[in-house]
A and B are shown apart, each in its own frame.
Chain A
Amino acid sequence: MSAHADEDSGQGTNVQIRGFSARFDLYRDGQLDLGQYYRDPFDLDAVEVLTGPSSVLFGRGSTGGVVNDVSKTPLLEPLQAAALSVGTDDLARISTDLNAPLSPSAALRLNAMGYTSGLAGRDLVDAPAWASRRP
């Protein structure tokens, strides 16, 4: 598996598996995720990579394989977690993971992320991003 920059393809997450483009083999919880955007793993519980002729083995997809992102799901235990990252070129990123049980059989989980950074060597570039997800 290899990931490369956007010189030869559209923007977003472009990966190749076994030399074949997996651009249209990205799934989110089993659903095809065709969006051309950069995927942040702040709300992912796992990333599954199936290599091989996925159209035969997985039922759909192309030659190289598929990538399935598994979302975080609510838990029956309380959870509070946060992560903060800072770096050069005005990089700052914060992500939170909050989970609150509502009843013995129901819970609420909130994942949020904020990101901002510049670009090395370029003064006029700013790349902010934010996202939230409530399963």
Chain B
Amino acid sequence: MISWFRGARRRGRPRRVAVILAALAPGAALADGPADGDGASGHAIGSVMVVGQSRLDVPLLTQPVARTPQSVDVITAQVIQLNGLSDLRDVLRLDPA
């Protein structure tokens, strides 16, 4: 720990840590202390249930990715026979994608 502190002092970290602690201190005091002036000090609030709908920022992702509909092109045996194809490469050329 001592060696770490010395190293940090050389890089100027204690000043940064002190600034952060100073900024957090008032917030901690407000959270612990009673709220004066509102007349409801000293008792805890019971459980609160919040009901609502989550709003998606990306409207395309409305369901899990695994359930996303995808385009599947099917080339049937009848089409293959009617075109007289004898190679899978020729069959795949019929795919419009």
A residues sitting closer than 8 Å to B (CB atoms) are 1, 3, 13-15, 17-18, 38-42, 44-52, 56-57, 65, 67, 69, 72, 83, 85, 93, 115
Contacts and interface: CB of A to CB of B under 8 A. Distances in A.
A3 to B, nearest CB: 4
B74 to A, nearest CB: 5
Main SS at interface, chain A: strand
B81 to A, nearest CB: 7
Nearest to B67: A57
B92 A85 contact: no
Nearest to B73: A49
Interface residues of B, number: 25
Interface stretch (B12-20, B24-32, B38-46, B82-90): B82-90
A93 B66 CA distance: 42
B97 A17 contact: yes
B74 A46 contact: yes
Nearest to A54: B70
B54 interface: no
Given A49-B72, A57-B68, A44 B92 contact: no
Given A13-B89, A41-B91, A49-B92, A85 B68 contact: no
Given A38-B88, A41-B86, A48 B74 contact: yes
